Amino acid sequence: MSESNGTARVALVTGAARGIGRGIALRLAADGLDVAVNDLESMQGELDSVAEDIRDKGRRSVAIAADVSKPEEVEEMVGRVVGELGKLDVMVANAGIAQIKPLLDVTPEEFDRLMAVNLRGLFLCYQAAARQMIRQGSGGKIIGAASIAGHKGFSLLGHYSASKFGVRGLTQAAAQEWAEHGITVNAYCPGIVDTAMWELIDARIGEIQGLQKGEAMKQFSELITLGRVEQPEDVAAFVSYLASKDSDYMTGQSVMIDGGIIFS
């Protein structure tokens, strides 16, 4: 149900210029939230377009370029959200990167960069959001991007899988520490989503395994019980639930939304 601008809850979605993050931001706006969106400075044009789409839905928005792996930029980002939209009720730490590479070939620098975005970036967003929500004194929803690779390690995605296993651990610990402040902390675990990231994954696996374009995606897609590749809107629908009052009694969970690939 839509709320007036004066009473609307405020969400921040990182990595929102395209793909899953864009889908989440637009869904939360449709749900009646005012939505700040974030991505890297190099994505500013696409980010501004998402913010404009949110405003077209009658919601307030601000587009903020920031690198989530840098503490000072995350703090400034949250400060801007509060300064321009008044508060922060929902944090969706969605920003992430992937790399397809055999573990024996991954350099320490590549490992550190992936962890800096996927795990440290999520930690910094969780932390900055929690501090703001505690100051506000009215609780909040913190939501992170995990993956089916956080429930099962995947070949050629070893360091990515490790980062997503880490998201699950942080989510469980944060949920326990911040429950007394009325803050719930949960994560969503997508599978094979039709995004630019998965196009890159398909291409890189194809190079390594000698497959044609689209073949790796097709092989992975055959694992999906529901028989179709996931869309950003499928993930966004579940994040909508995590951001709503309907999930008030749920915390510390990292839930598969993968069409039936991993069963646990």
| Residues classed as catalytic | 160, 164
Rounded to whole angstroms, the Cα distance separating 26 from 31 reads 9
142: closest CA among 204, 193, 177, 185? Answer: 185
Rounded to whole angstroms, the Cα distance separating 32 from 60 reads 10
Name the H helices within the chain. 19-30, 44-56, 71-85, 108-115, 121-136, 158-178, 196-209, 215-221, 232-243
Rounded to whole angstroms, the Cα distance separating 174 from 177 reads 5
Tokens of 118: 């996927």
The number of residues in the chain equals 264
- Helix (H) or strand (E) run with residue 230 in it: none
Rounded to whole angstroms, the Cα distance separating 231 from 233 reads 5
State the residue for tokens 């749900």.
Answer: 31
